[in-house]
Amino acid sequence: MNIQNNYVCIMAGGIGSRFWPESRMSYPKQFIDILGTGKSLIQWTYLRFLDICPKENIYFITNQQYIKTLQDQIPEVAAENIISEPSRKNTAPCAAYFAHRIYEKNPNANIIMSPADHLIMDEKGFTATALNALEFVSKNDALLTLGIKPTRPDTGYGYIQYDIEDQIDTVFRVRTFSEKPSLELARTFLKSGDFLWNAGIFIWNVKTIKAALEKYLPELNDVFVQAKEAYNTPKESELINQLYAQCTNISIDYGIMEKAKNVFVVPSYFGWCDLGTWESAYDNFEKDYLGNAVHGDNVMIIDATECMIKAPKQKLVVLQGLEKFIVVDTEDVLLICERNREQQIKEYVAEVKRNKGDKFL
């Protein structure tokens, strides 16, 4: 496999509402150093892919309002490698746009579509898995995804069921995709042994994904066919701004992966975490002897246990009597929420929007 044919598209347009109030529309979670590592999530993601393809083959798709922030955080990325998405239309339009654009540059491209905000502990393990997956899609008509062996019955992830009997090396054929399940169903998935968490990392050859778009999302595909002559030229941005309104809001999973017959998964073990919620942050923070994960220089704990606390460095926070709570204090918002309700934070954000407008979002 020619590594020059490897391309990465980092999807960086989300607003991270489940990490509110730390993540805001003006400065979402992918640009935040949530775990106090010294780098933001998007910076870690970029560095991770430097071992997989040339840096000039790493692209970002993000909303127009985040381009300046992205350039500030990763100044070495060329302007032409930052693709402006006119509006948020979910992951299928994003994948279609990138596929058509890259095809005009390199019709032999092998592509990784990756979120910008994942935590991966075993970088070498991830690199090896990704390179093997790219090798596989370069030789096979395959839409590939990475699945994570579940460690608990989590209701916050989608699940992939794979066929244990249908295997090529480390790659298995996918049987079904399941949306975020109930707790009871998640427990059943965990016991069965043939379900994986859907990591939302997709790998394919550009010709394979274009064929899938033509077959399963023809109207969406036609939108980007119209821009064929403009890709990688000064005319591209203006034309895409006009065309994007025609795109349906649909995910890759629902639009293609759940329908296609040539879908495969690699069961993966590289210390993955979709750092999408305060619960996942709690899992990855160091804890004190009472099980509290504390991020703040002046937090005092008095009889509080198993809490997730995030506070400004200069602010004194005294916490007494709480058990299994999320406490996030920012300059203008204080969130106090039971940890077992954290999946509802998106609902709370919607309620804030209805009652207070966008001021606190």
Q: What is the dihedral of CA 73, 76, 78, 84, to 10 degrees?
A: -10
Q: Which of 86, 142, 134, 96 is nearest to 112 (CA)?
A: 134
Predicted pLDDT of residue 229 = 87
Lowest-pLDDT range of 163-167, 244-248, 283-287, 334-338:
163-167
- Separation between Cα atoms, residue 298 and residue 317, nearest integer Å: 6
Average pLDDT over residues 301-314: 92
- Separation between Cα atoms, residue 134 and residue 6, nearest integer Å: 7
For residue range 333-355, list pLDDT tens digits in order. Answer: 999 999 988 888 989 999 999 99
Predicted pLDDT of residue 217 = 95
Average pLDDT over residues 233-260: 88
- Report residue 322 as tokens: 């709480």
Predicted pLDDT of residue 344 = 87
For residue range 17-50, list pLDDT tens digits in order. Answer: 888 999 898 899 999 988 888 899 999 999 999 9
- Separation between Cα atoms, residue 84 and residue 60, nearest integer Å: 8
Average pLDDT over residues 274-286: 85
The whole-chain average pLDDT of the chain stands at: 90
Predicted pLDDT of residue 325 = 96
For residue range 122-164, list pLDDT tens digits in order. Answer: 899 999 999 999 999 999 999 999 999 888 888 778 899 988 8
Which ranges in the chain are annotated with CATH 3.90.550.10?
3-276
Average pLDDT over residues 226-239: 87
Predicted pLDDT of residue 150 = 86
Task: Please name the residue that has the structure tokens 């300059």.
Answer: 331
Whether 1 has a pLDDT exceeding 80, the answer reads: no
- Residue range 3-276 in CATH 3.90.550.10: yes
For residue range 85-116, list pLDDT tens digits in order. Answer: 888 888 999 999 999 999 999 999 999 999 99
Predicted pLDDT of residue 275 = 79
Q: How confident is the model at residue 81 (pLDDT cuts 50, 70, 90)?
A: very high
Predicted pLDDT of residue 180 = 82
Predicted pLDDT of residue 40 = 92
Average pLDDT over residues 268-295: 88
| Ramachandran assignment for 209, one of left (phi > 0), alpha (psi -120 to 50 degrees), beta (any other) | alpha
